[in-house]
Amino acid sequence: GDSVTQMEGPVTLSEEAFLTINCTYTATGYPSLFWYVQYPGEGLQLLLKATKADDKGSNKGFEATYRKETTSFHLEKGSVQVSDSAVYFCALSRYSSASKIIFGSGTRLSIRP
């Protein structure tokens, strides 16, 4: 069945460091791909998305590119801030609309000042 595998955490970085969180997926067809973020005490928020191969999603300095050939959707940010500390979830939705979202297990990111 469909699944998402992401880099295990926790990941601890210093402020202004470069961030990569790896994510790969298994799915038939062409799923939509997402990164969600969960800040402490808050609900899941959509960070960015990509709906077809080679699309790049971006938001708040974060980027991820839909790579069909490697079935990957790695999250990157050039310079992290303390406020980026959160749990990040890679996810997919198999159809363009109406379908359930399948999540990875999450990666906890902590940024040191």
Near other proteins by CB under 8 A, which window of 20-28, 58-66, 71-79, 92-100? Answer: 92-100
The label of the residue with tokens 């959707």 reads 73
> In angstroms, rounded to a whole number, what is the distance separating the alpha carbons of residues 91 and 5?
9
Residues 2-21 that bind other proteins (CB under 8 A): 4
Is 49 a residue that touches other proteins (CB under 8 A)?
Answer: yes
Structure tokens at 72: 């990957």
- Using rule CB under 8 A, residue 53 touches other proteins: no
Of 11-19, 21-29, 35-43, 70-78, the segment contacting other proteins by CB under 8 A is 35-43
Which of 56, 68, 100, 112 touches other proteins (CB under 8 A)?
100
Pick the stretch among 18-26, 60-68, 71-79, 98-106 that binds other proteins (CB under 8 A): 98-106
Judged by CB under 8 A, which of 17, 46, 53, 82 binds other proteins?
46
Cβ-Cβ contacts under 8 Å for 47 (sequence gap 6 or more): 34, 35, 36, 37, 59, 60, 62, 75, 88
Q: Among residues 24, 1, 13, 6, which one has the least CA distance to residue 107?
A: 6
Which residues contact other proteins by CB under 8 A? 4, 32, 36, 41-46, 49, 51, 89, 91, 93, 95-106
